[in-house]
């Protein structure tokens, strides 16, 4: 019984294949006026409107799907662009910092080559001790009078002014940092700006105050300060050579009525992380 069913199915399959081949042959050789062609045209005329209607009906759904795809793609591209912009901004800031640091170092190199400092001898020293105060305002270096170091000599780094020599021994010296209480520096704003005095801010370690300002121009955020090269005290007139970078104005509050302008300065030199320094000794008689 089972074998008969298999033989019957095979016979039907063979018959369908033969019929299909016959229809294909007739369709190829038949003219457009033939009956088979007419049947094809009739079926097409019935199904084409249905297909067109289905296509129109499904078009909004396809458009919605495409809109979602395009929206998600756009959002993904937007996120990628935001990430790229953030990375570029970080790189830009890093480049600016590097350029600024390079500029300060170049400025100091140029300073050491200028006639105003040409009469000084540069003595390199290393930090061997620091005060245990909260502000680290005093430190000890491993060069002294045997190296030509004298009291009141200026002490600098590649970034700018550090302080002055306050005590000298044969092989060591004590440096009062510019943040040390009572250690004032006469300064001016670069570019023909106002002049005044740099003093430490009590209770704000590492901060400086630009006070006793003389000049018609207001000090602004970002202004750079250098040593003025003189002092109101005659015995300290040569304490700091002129034009040594000191720091940058981090906050400038405009003056009100008779009150002076309040100016806060950030030192260029990192006074909390010093390793080696340069002492400018000798100088004009």
Residue 110, in any domain of the structure: no
CATH number, domain at 218? 2.40.10.340
CA torsion 68-73-79-80 (nearest 10°) is 180
Residue 80, in any domain of the structure: no
* pLDDT of the residue at 235: 43
Residue 24, in any domain of the structure: yes
Residues 40 and 176 in one domain: no
Residue 67, in any domain of the structure: no
Residues 55 and 120 in one domain: no
Residues 126 and 218 in one domain: yes
Question: Which of 78-82, 123-127, 238-242 is the most confident on average?
Answer: 123-127
Q: Residue 35: which residues within 8 A CB-CB, separation 6 or more?
A: none
* pLDDT of the residue at 72: 65
Query: Which pTM was predicted?
Result: 0.58
Total number of domains in the chain: 2
Residue 97, in any domain of the structure: no
Give the pLDDT confidence of 137-158 residue by residue, as tens digits: 889 999 999 999 999 999 999 8
Buried b (16+ CB within 10 A) or exposed e, 26-38: eeeeeeeeeeeee
pLDDT at 43 > cutoff 60: no
Residue 68, in any domain of the structure: no
Residue 153, in any domain of the structure: yes
* pLDDT of the residue at 234: 45
By mean pLDDT, which of 63-67, 94-98, 131-135, 225-229 is the weakest? 131-135
Residues 267 and 196 in one domain: yes
Residues 139 and 51 in one domain: no
Sequence-ordered alpha helix ranges (H) in the chain: 2-29, 35-113, 115-118
Structural domain for 260, as ranges: 115-282
Residue 93, in any domain of the structure: no
Alpha carbon of residue 188 to chain centroid: 28
Is the model more confident about 182 or about 37?
A: 182
pLDDT at 97 > cutoff 70: no
Q: Which helix (H) or strand (E) holds 166?
A: strand 161-168
* pLDDT of the residue at 79: 73
pLDDT, mean of residues 188-193: 85
């Amino acid at each position: 019984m089972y074998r008969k069913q298999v033989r019957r199915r095979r016979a039907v399959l063979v018959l369908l294949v033969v019929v299909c081949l016959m229809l294909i042959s007739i369709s190829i050789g038949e003219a457009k006026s033939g009956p088979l062609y007419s049947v094809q045209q009739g079926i097409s005329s019935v199904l084409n409107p249905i297909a067109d209607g289905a296509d129109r009906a499904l078009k909004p759904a396809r458009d919605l799907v495409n809109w979602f795809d395009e929206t998600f793609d756009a959002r993904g591209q937007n996120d990628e662009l935001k990430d790229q912009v953030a990375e570029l901004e970080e790189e830009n800031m890093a480049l600016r910092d590097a350029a600024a640091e390079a500029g300060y170092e170049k400025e100091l190199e140029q300073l050491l080559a200028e006639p105003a400092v040409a009469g000084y001898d540069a003595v390199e020293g290393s930090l061997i001790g620091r005060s245990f105060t909260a502000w680290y305002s005093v430190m000890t270096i491993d060069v002294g009078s045997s190296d030509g170091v004298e009291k009141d000599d200026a002490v600098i780094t590649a970034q700018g002014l550090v302080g002055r020599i306050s005590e000298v021994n044969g092989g060591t010296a004590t440096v009062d940092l510019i943040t040390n209480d009572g250690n004032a520096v006469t300064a001016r704003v670069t570019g023909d700006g106002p002049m005044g005095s740099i003093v430490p801010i009590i209770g704000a370690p590492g901060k400086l105050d630009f006070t006793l300002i003389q000049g018609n121009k207001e000090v602004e955020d970002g202004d750079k300060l250098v040593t003025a090269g003189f002092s109101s005290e005659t015995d300290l007139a040569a304490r700091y050579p002129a034009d040594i970078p000191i720091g940058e104005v981090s906050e400038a509050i405009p003056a009100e009525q008779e009150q002076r302008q309040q100016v806060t300065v950030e030192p260029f030199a990192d006074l909390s992380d010093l390793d080696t320094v340069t002492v400018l000794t000798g100088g004009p008689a």
